[in-house]
C-alpha cells in the first residue's frame, strides 16, 4: 500500500491506501466518493476521469492515443485530466494527489 490523496467532488481531501500494482481507478472505485468506472478500465467510458495535481503530471507516463482522444471529448477536460484506469499505481507514485472530476 502507498498513500493516495483523493479530493472528492465536495473539495474534501482524503488520505487513502492505494493499491500498488493496480490501476489508480481500482482504488478510486471502492470509495463512496470515488469514480464509477462503468467500463471496468477498458478506456471507453471516461467515468474514471480525474485531475492530477500539477506536481505529479510529469511523473506519470504520457497518455496513449485512445486515452487522449476520449479525454479531449469531455466537457470538463483540463490540463490535468487523466483517466485513472490508465494510470498504474506504482510505489514511485506514493503521495499522488488526484481530484475526482465532475460527472459529465
Residues that bind ligand FES (CB under 6 A): 25, 37-39, 41-48, 83, 85
What's the closest the beta carbon of residue 59 comes to ligand FES, in angstroms?
A: 20
Closest distance between ligand FES and the C-beta of residue 13, in Å? 22
Residue nearest to ligand FES (CB): 85
Closest CA to 88 of 21, 15, 12: 21
Sign of the dihedral through C-alpha 17, 97, 87, 73: positive
Strand-pair category, 2-7 with 49-52: unpaired
Q: How far is the CB of 26 from ligand FES (least distance, A)?
A: 10
Amino acid at each position: 500500500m502507498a498513500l493516495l490523496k483523493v479530493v472528492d467532488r465536495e473539495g474534501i481531501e482524503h488520505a487513502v491506501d492505494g493499491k500498488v500494482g493496480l490501476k489508480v481507478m481500482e482504488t478510486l472505485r471502492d470509495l463512496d466518493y470515488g469514480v464509477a468506472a462503468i467500463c471496468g478500465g477498458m478506456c471507453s467510458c471516461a467515468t474514471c476521469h480525474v485531475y492530477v495535481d500539477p506536481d505529479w503530471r510529469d511523473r506519470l507516463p504520457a497518455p496513449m492515443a485512445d486515452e487522449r482522444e476520449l479525454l479531449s471529448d469531455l466537457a470538463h477536460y483540463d490540463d490535468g485530466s487523466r483517466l485513472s484506469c490508465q494510470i498504474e499505481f506504482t510505489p514511485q507514485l506514493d503521495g499522488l494527489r488526484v481530484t475526482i472530476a465532475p460527472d459529465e
